A and B are shown apart, each in its own frame.
Chain A
Amino acid sequence: MHRRAGCTVILICLLTLLTGCWDRVEIQERGFVVGVAIDVSENEAEEEGTGEKEERAKGKERYVVTYQFVAPEGLQGDGGGNAESFFNLTTEGASMMETARLLATRTSRTPYFGHIKTLIISEDVAKRGRLADVVDFFLRDHEMRRGTKVMIAKGKAKDVFDFKPPIEKMPVMFIRSVAENIHRTGRIYPPVRIGDLHELLLRQTSYALPRITGKKEEVKVAGSAVIQGNTNRMVGWLGEEETIGLNCMRGEIEGGLEKVEVEDNLVMYEFRGKNTSIEADVSDIENIKFTITMESEGFIPESLKTVDWMSEKVVREVEKRIGKETVRIASKALNKLHKEFKVDAIGLGRHLYTHHPKVWDKIQHDWDIGKNYFAKSTIELKAKAIVRNSGVIIKSEPIQE
């Protein structure tokens, strides 16, 4: 009997443990952060609101960070309600964690970072070489995922989040979808995940990041920011066409358009896949010779010039012109990187590391910095295009003689 009574007491005590768990946060009490925009602060370090000078440790920089939250109430229904489906909170601090914790004083919902989709960093942050500083928190925290996409904003990063997208309910979702349109245009630099950025930062090789331009009325993802790998300082922009060129050289283009002139009118060519091969002649490290061969295939979606697409001669001629055009676009980007910035965002250094590791060991500290072997190298561009088909018709009007 005693034994049974003892057991009962223990079981009743154990029941109390079943009531809950330490870390319970109900889903409706969570504030899901979907995007973060980081700007540099212009203000002197001040305790928010009070105006008293801060006596605590000061960092090298102060940041204004905007967090975009989902407001699930606004997402319900078919857009009938007037409720906004997102809200932004902006805080200021010397580190990301500081701003994140300041959020707790401003929102009733516990911020949860596991669903951050995009991280937008303003050009000022990038130009001051603070990229590694600002992404550290997003890599280190266990809630974060390495799939967050990173972009550099022209102007203020915060402006991007104020934009009211016409179709999507949240600016961040809109941006994310736009940034993934790389199948349709080469003007967008392929999305860089924060995990990839971690790799790039650790390798100290130069790289590019997609550019986003935000205004109240319109947000545009096109072009790219070039970042020097050793200093992690942004050195400048590549425009939209130059970004196509960079994408071609990196062989990362998945779709996009090129227009070529045939006689007096235009013919459009759409890429469907690109393959780039790099060859390096490293016999003289003072003048390494690279040959970048860009092969593409695609079709003709629009032919303003009426030509006979059934004729092999015509097709060969167009292919040649497309090749020339590719080289022209790529060399524009190459000139900027090679002659003006002297920064290797193409990944030639990486090619040396993977294919000529012994040479790379000798020159890696002076690749696109210091002695700058990159600037001393010679780069030759070659292009080859294959027109797979001319669409579903041959001509839209008879050839005029």
Chain B
Amino acid sequence: MKVAVVGAGPAGVRAVERLVAAGLSPVWIDEAPDGGGRIYQRPPPGLARDARTLYGFEARRATALHATLDALKPKVDWRPDTLVWHIRPEARTLHTLSRGRQVELAYDAAILCTGAMDRVIPLPGWTRPGVTTLGAAQIALKTQGCGIGQRVAFIGTGPLLVLVAYQYAKAGAEVVAVLDTTSFATKLRAAPGLMLGGATFAKGLYYTAWLRRRGIRIAEGVTPIAIDGDESGVTAIAWRDAAGREHRAACDAAGIGWGLKPEAQLADLARVPFRHDPVQANWVPVRDGAGRTPVAGIYLAGDGAGIGGAEVAEIAGARAALALLADAGKRIDPIETVTLDRRLATQARFRAALERAFPFPAHLARGIADDTLLCRCEGLHAGELRTAARAEAATGPASEVNRAKSFTRIGMGRCQGRVCGAAAAEILAAELGCGVAAIGRLRGQPPVKPIPIPAAVSAP
């Protein structure tokens, strides 16, 4: 039986672990050179910090995952530095590109563990050098020992906001402001549900208290105004506080982010149907509790199947592997599946509370000014999308998001709408007077990321 696992983050590692334990030797593909996913990404050789410095409270979990990953590599067909750029479910074929070489891989079953990226709401100045996602700010520090600047502001919402600020302050950067667009009252309402998550909730409180003790400015319920700058980059961040007063803080870099969204392009190309999840405000691929999809042979786990975080990803990876094994007629331990299912159910309740504590601020996306750059790939402003949505547009109104794409090029650029997609959907929905679920979802196209043309033309 030919099994492929795409992704070597927490979900991929635990999936492969179960497959190997059952006597299989899957093909295991990861885009990065060394696996670990974004959360447990290791620095390149030569950078020498220990796990405690790199991963903080998550050091033990990271170390355990790395040990499993490294022990599994010789037991499988390990293919790092490899991009899966297309999947054809009818032919059960993956199209991969590895160091310039195009390779097609046949599979009987595949587990896609493709992870997530930051969800972004554009604001004036957000494309300036010196502005990155929150995840990017964290990756720069974790894997390169670098801050995105010397005096850094962070704006957005979600657990990553205070965590990154804490990590920067600890590493010696000056954190000039931590600006949470979620109000304290919203978080408080979700607090009872968050207690279920125990440690995760407590860690957030710890980081916040640590920052406050050092006199670092933390504001909640803010509205972003702009990231100002000049030729050399960022010079200041401006925002409005909960009472409507305007503030400015000088800085030379800013990290922005409003939670995460699945990197689910491969599931899309595999023709897995999607549904709009109103709690996490994301389109997510349809799967059952074990990770099975309606497409034969395709299983999903981790944040790519809907945001759950690293701890959930480990459980879900193991569970998807057990589902695959059961479907293939292998004997699996029924007690283990029940245990994993129970842990996933508990985590799902906590996750729902977390999403309620840091809801996606759709109103900020809907309020993006007409002259703000919305799509950084195609140089498209919010007003151009609004114009396309209007009935009097020459093309007729863009009544759903893929029509808007063909009329305006929104989401057609090199990132394929990964960055602007969430905000663009809100703007279009507002203009059409409906919810985001009603305007549909940007369809994925191969290649999922740009590849050199010679690699593409050799494929069917």
Instruction: Answer yes or no: do A and B interact.
Output: no
- Which residues from chain B sit less than 8 Å from chain A, CB to CB? none
- Which residues from chain A sit less than 8 Å from chain B, CB to CB? none
